[in-house]
């Protein structure tokens, strides 16, 4: 019967081995890395990232990271490049070649072809003395002592090192470009991440009812308004639309616990004055922060003239994945 007792120990050993190897990359950084970043930053072309085998898989991830952080990039498989895809590379493009050994047959064929077209080559390799290391214009050393694979064969630690080196390039370029969260939102419009960066309060209130009463409205009308608009709250406003208070379904329950004689009560008698509000132009994530900091589930929304325009409920933020 198979012994499973070593699973956690093996996992921990793998993580520690890889983390140590990644930390060691800081000692391998030299002027070539700095010059490579400057070259990519100043080029008018794109970044073509290529590799073969597991290095090709890493190349696709580096391409995705570069594209999402403001550096246009394209993946080119090294084997396909020497069988017709070399035309992907245009004048002014920078080419990143990834290879642990730096001596694969495809790389040996590809690198001279790239350089013959006057494109510069940036190598990410674990062997600076390899064909790739010696023929690249800039060589980024991703050497690792040992793969996490117990046979020291399957690319594990080495591919992680390649990926981290690519991340380091991307982040340095991001920093040089002054890439902001607004730029990030432009490239990430989908999903919860994008919504956190671009969705505004005004986008949320458009989908909601607008519960509203005035201060002299009777409590019966307040109850109907809260019930019909189904947000658990209503704003109490002046005739000009300025917010005077707020009444929640909790306020209604507390009132009924005190008295059932509600005929003579008005909104003014049970409302909470000076409620929390937020401008409709604020980011939705700011509305979430206000709700969390004040332990509330709804917030009233105003326009630039401080007039009431709607309600944002915690459920609205949950539906959008901003939580």
Structure tokens that stand for 261 in this block:
């004689």
Q: State whether the Cα torsion 137-177-47-172 is positive or negative.
A: positive
Report the C-alpha gap between 229 and 213 in whole angstroms. Answer: 12
The 10 Å Cβ neighbour count of residue 7 is: 9
Stated length of the chain: 323
| HEC assignment per residue over 189-216 | CCHHHHHHHHCEHHHHHCCCCCCEEECC
Q: If you count DSSP H runs as helices and E runs as strands, how many of each does the chain have, helices first?
A: 15, 12
Report the C-alpha gap between 111 and 50 in whole angstroms. Answer: 10
313 DSSP β-pair partners: 298
188 assigned ligand-binding residue: no
Report the C-alpha gap between 46 and 250 in whole angstroms. Answer: 58
Known binding residues: 77
Known binding residues for Zn(2+): 77
């Amino acid at each position: 019967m198979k012994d499973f007792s070593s699973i956690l120990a093996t996992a921990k050993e793998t993580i520690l081995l890889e983390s140590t190897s990644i930390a060691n990359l800081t000692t391998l950084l030299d002027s070539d890395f700095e010059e490579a970043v400057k070259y990519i930053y100043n080029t008018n072309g794109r970044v073509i990232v290529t590799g073969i085998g597991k290095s090709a898989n890493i190349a696709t991830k580096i391409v995705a990271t570069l594209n999402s952080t403001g550096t246009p990039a394209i993946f080119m498989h090294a084997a396909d490049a020497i069988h017709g895809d070399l035309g992907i590379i245009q004048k002014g493009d920078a080419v990143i070649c990834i290879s642990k050994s730096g001596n694969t047959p495809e790389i040996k064929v590809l690198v001279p072809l790239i350089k013959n077209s006057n494109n510069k080559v940036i190598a990410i390799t674990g062997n600076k003395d390899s064909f790739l290391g010696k023929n690249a214009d800039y060589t980024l050393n991703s050497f690792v002592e040992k793969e996490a694979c117990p046979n020291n064969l399957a690319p594990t630690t080495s591919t992680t090192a390649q990926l981290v080196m690519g991340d380091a390039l991307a982040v340095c370029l991001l920093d040089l470009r002054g890439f902001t969260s607004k730029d990030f939102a432009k490239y990430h419009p989908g999903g919860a991440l994008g919504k956190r960066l671009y969705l505004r309060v005004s986008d949320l209130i458009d989908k909601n009812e607008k519960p509203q009463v005035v201060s002299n409205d009777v409590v019966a009308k307040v109850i109907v308004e809260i019930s019909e608009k189904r947000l658990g709250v209503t704003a109490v406003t002046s005739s000009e639309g300025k917010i005077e208070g707020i009444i929640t379904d909790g306020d209604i329950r507390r009132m009924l616990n005190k008295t059932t004689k509600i005929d003579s009560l008005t909104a003014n008698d049970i409302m909470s004055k000076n409620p929390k509000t937020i401008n409709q132009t604020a980011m939705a994530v700011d509305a979430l922060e206000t709700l969390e900091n004040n332990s509330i589930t709804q917030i009233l929304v105003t326009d630039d003239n401080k007039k009431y325009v709607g309600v944002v409920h915690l459920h609205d933020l949950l539906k959008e994945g901003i939580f």
